[in-house]
Amino acid sequence: MQKLSIGKIGLAAAFMLILAACSSNPGMRIGNTVTLCCPGNYAAYNTYAIEDVGLPIFLREYVAEEFDKAFQELGMTRNDARSDLVVNLNYRHVNLNPDQQQIDPFIRMESMNVELDYIANIDITMRERAGGKEVWAGTISRIHSVQPGEYMHEGNARGAFLVTFRDLLSEYPRNQE
């Protein structure tokens, strides 16, 4: 049997720790894609308002807060009363099992003893308040497998949403003419 040096064992352990850290990064579990970019006058946009459509109650507040943080890092200011842009956060989900299409994953009966597999999507659209022209859009999504009795772990999700919004908004063309 070949002897392994302490250095090689240490290197292997460090490599495994790095892999574990990368795979446990909450931001990597939510996918994102820009779906519309760049027909707007981005230099003229400084303020935004948020509207949400169909976001489950438990997601509403912190999804908006994490989006706010990411968008404000780009120099935007939230003003729901008077804004240049209206940002729409539209939630939808797609059940992956054809027999479960009528089951809402957020309204589950105690007697329902099935695992639900679905894709949760939040479509983000930005339109000019004056005129309504859509100027930017993207989507974030995550596949969920929910066992009976499981609930949303908000603490982990907050960080994942922030990382994902930052990544998605890195494609926002700030200060372009």
What's the pTM value of the predicted model, to 2 decimals?
0.74
- 77 within some domain: yes
- 76 within some domain: yes
- Based on the structure, what is the number of domains in the chain? 1
Which CATH number is 124's domain given? 3.30.160.670
CA distance 32 to 171: 11
- 144 within some domain: yes
At 129-158, the pLDDT tens digits run: 999 999 999 999 988 677 666 655 555 678
Domain, as residue range, for 149: 30-169
- 91 within some domain: yes
- 177 within some domain: no
At 61-118, the pLDDT tens digits run: 889 999 999 999 999 999 999 999 999 999 998 877 877 767 666 665 555 677 778 7
CA distance 124 to 89: 5
- 152 within some domain: yes
- Work out whether strand 116-128 and strand 85-95 pair parallel, antiparallel, or are unpaired: antiparallel
